[in-house]
Structure formats: structure tokens, C-alpha cells
Structure 1
Amino acid sequence: MSLRVDEGEIVALLGNNGAGKTSTLSAISGLVRSSGGRIVFDGQDITRAKPPEIVGMGLVHVPEGRRIFSTLSVQENLQMGGYPVRDQAEIQRRIDHVYDLLPRLAERRDQEGGTLSGGEQQMLAIGRAIVAGPRLLMLDEPSMGLAPLVVAAVMRVIAQINASGTSVLLVEQNARAALRIAHRGYVVENGRCVLDAPAAELAGDERVVDAYLGGT
């Protein structure tokens, strides 16, 4: 597996279930140990770094399934994202930024996370990651289980985050949605990158169309 994300990019990681996409994100964020090779972030080898150290460097992972704290309020969930930050005023400034970006969360700031809709929970998971101050945001299947209109809204938010200067590595089963906002993409099969091209080229590649875009 060999891939890169350049500063300011959205890079999509596409592939079928079991191809190794989630494992790749978990290895980068230190949740699992890679058996070989090197992981480099901003010129620094982080292959053996611990997850809190990696987050502190600005590499933040939104896992598959959202994993919000269901009994905590929206505000409390966002505060949890600020655990690497000692300045409480800075944490609140970041939370206010999330509320500006995602006004639905502001409306529900006192509501328990578990009572939100699926789309709102995904927005909350992304918002919590923003509070951590990502330079590279890794998202694992953010569209999973969401209605098409909600998927479009999530993708717009990801594009907005990227436009503000945050690089994004996006694992996404919905290849069509991912390639609409990505700059480049990789196709992963059996733990190996088998295609690497600009997003527009992948969207027009017959192999990608047949395998991931429904043949249209």
C-alpha cells in the first residue's frame, strides 16, 4: 500500500468491503500497528507514534459508525474533541466555529447525541474532529446509512472544511459522491492500491464505472 495526501487536497480511497481501507486509516492514526513500511506526516515518521501524539500533530480520524457519546449533549461531545487543547477559550472558539459551519448542531447543543438523526450524528462526529484542530482529517464512510439528500449535505461540509485549509483523506463506499468532491483518488483491492489518478479520470475510467459507479 503506497499513497500520499498533499497539502490542501481531498483524496478518496475507494474499494469494496474488506479491501483494506479502514485498516489503512487505523494504521495511520495509530489504532493498529502496521507490520512494515513507514507512515510519514509533515516529514516526520509517525509509524510507531501513539494515537494521542498523532492527534496532537493535527492528524484526526473520524471512525466508521460515528461513535459519538450518546448520553452526552452535543455541546459536551464537541468539548470532548478538545481534549488535546489546554486553552478552554480556544476550545470554545473552535466549538463556535463548528456551530457556524453546522447550524443544526447549534440548534441542538443541549440535546443528547443519541437522540439526533443519523445525519446529525455524522455532522456531530465531524464537528468533534474539527474541535481537535485537524491539519489532515481522515473520514471513514461518512455517508453510511444516510439518505441521498443527507449524503449530499455531508459532502458539502467536507468540501467546506477542505476549502478552509484542511487536507482530507476520505474512505467512502459511495464512490460517485466521493469523486465529486475529491481532487485525486486511489482504488484499493486486497490491501494494495491498483489505481491512482485525478478524481475526474477515475470517474470516467470504465473499470471504476463498472465496479463502483453502477455501470453508468
Structure 2
Amino acid sequence: MSGLVVDGVDVHYGRVHALRSLSFEVGEGEIVSLLGNNGAGKTTTMNLLSGLVKATRGTITWNGTDLGSLPAHDLVTHGVVHVPEGRRIFSTMTVHENLMLGGYRVADASLVEKRVQQAYDLMPRLHERRKQQGGTLSGGEQQMLAIGRALVAGPRLLLLDEPSMGLAPLIVKQVMEIIAEVNQQGTTVLLVEQNAKAALRIAHRAYVVETGHVTLSGPAAELADDPRVVEAYLGA
């Protein structure tokens, strides 16, 4: 299929077997969510896809390109952009400077400016705060800034790791609406989330990951009604 295909991947940290024959797919134009508890292997999966760790077995392809053979700094040129857990914005740089930094691998300066303006249009709060240092923003605004910075890079596949972490429910709703809008504008999204309820509201499909491998998968609406998911992740 076109899109992202992870096939039979193992990852080891020394003697720790972090991912075990992990396989899943993300079709172009989809939002796919990976659900699971702490330690399930979700963040390792994101680090694998962004080239920060390497597989000891298996393959990772994005529209036919072997991502596993590429260094991390080259993935953005193939449209793969990672928003890491914890946002990791530059706290002493302004909002605008953070956004501009997202375009560091984009040769066309006018395209960078256009994408920055698109980020402001999508998230007007960032425009209001554009001259503020990133560290002075609220948690929700920092998450918006992290997403905006990634969008300036021009992602075709956006990897989002725990974007709702530490945010109030109303802000979580706003962030998820932004992610859904980014997807509607044509960006494929892989969303790692502990907040299963929020993730399943916007995802097309989802996979449940436990101890480094997929134990359950299906359309998001079906998983939201699956008693196993309800009991384990939806607090019912």
C-alpha cells in the first residue's frame, strides 16, 4: 500500500527487547493512532520512525522509500516530521523564531514565510504571541507551537507523540481539532496517545500496542466500542 508500512520490526536496547515483530500500516491521508500504556513501546516506535533508533530486524517504508536506511536528518526531506513528547520548543526564542526554525531545510524562503503564515491562520493564538519567548507560553500554546514548527517543514507524514500530555480537557479538545484540520488539509498523521478517548474521536483507525507488539487493531469507531479497549483505556 502507499503510505507508511512497518513490517516485522524488532528494536533492542542492549538486552531489552523493546519492539517485537511490530507491524502496522498508515495509509496516505489517514489519521492512525497507536494506543497503549506507559512502557508499551509507543515512543520507541516514534523514535524508530524518525531515525533516532534503528531496527535490529524488519523494514519501514514510506511510499516505497526505505526509511530504515536513512539518517534521521534526511527524513524531513522525504516529508517525515516528528513532534516529540514534551514539545521541546526553544524557550528563549520567540514564537516566530521557533516557527521559522521549522523551515531550516527548506531552500525557498518565500515558501517558509507562506507556511509560517498558514500556521498563524490555523492557530491564531500563535500570531497573537508571535513576539513572546516560547518559554512564556502556556502548555497548550507550546503544543500548538511545536505542531506549527513541524508544519513549516512541510510534512507529508506527521508523527505526533503524546500531544495531549499535561493539558486541560478543553485544551486537549482544541489541540485534537487542530490535528484533524491538518489532516483534512492533506497531511497523513500517526498519533501516539495515552488519552485514548481523544485519539479515537479523530482517528480513522487505531492499533493497541502492548509490550512492543500490536495486540488489537481496527477502525477507531469500532475500537471505541470494544469492551477490551473500554475497560483498559477508556475508564469504563
TM-score strictly above 0.5: yes
* Identity among equivalent pairs (%): 65
The gaps in structure 2 that reach 5 residues or longer are 1-21
**1:145 partner SS:** coil
Distance 1:155 1:147 in 2: 12
Count of aligned residue pairs for this structure pair? 215
Q: CA deviation at 1:160?
A: 0.1
Distance 2:72 2:185 in 1: 25
Distance 2:83 2:31 in 1: 15
2:221 equivalent to 1:175 = no
**After superposition, what is the alpha-carbon deviation per residue over 1:117-162, rounded to whole angstroms, capped at 9, x for unaligned?**
0000000000000000000101000000000000000000000000
Q: CA deviation at 1:81?
A: 0.4
Distance 1:36 1:69 in 2: 35
Which position in structure 2 is the counterpart of 1:133?
A: 154
TM-score (norm 2): 0.90
**2:140 partner SS:** helix
Q: CA deviation at 1:96?
A: 0.3
Which position in structure 1 is the counterpart of 2:234?
A: 213
**1:22 partner SS:** helix
Equivalent residue in structure 1 for 2:65, among 41, 44, 52 = 44
Distance 2:155 2:67 in 1: 16
Q: CA deviation at 1:181?
A: 0.2
Equivalent residue in structure 1 for 2:109, among 85, 88, 100 = 88
Equivalent residue in structure 2 for 1:185, among 172, 188, 206 = 206
**After superposition, what is the alpha-carbon deviation per residue over 1:63-102, rounded to whole angstroms, capped at 9, x for unaligned?**
0000000000000000110011011111001000000000
CA RMSD of aligned residues (A): 0.5
Distance 2:184 2:233 in 1: 26
From the two aligned structures, give the one with the greater strand fraction: 2
**Amino acid corresponding to residue 110 of structure 1 in structure 2:** K
Distance 2:104 2:53 in 1: 21
Distance 1:39 1:214 in 2: 33
Q: CA deviation at 1:44?
A: 1.1
Which position in structure 1 is the counterpart of 2:122?
A: 101
Runs (4+) off by over 6 Å = none
Distance 1:78 1:10 in 2: 23
TM-score (norm 1): 0.99
Which position in structure 2 is the counterpart of 1:76?
A: 97
Which position in structure 1 is the counterpart of 2:140?
A: 119
Q: CA deviation at 1:34?
A: 1.3
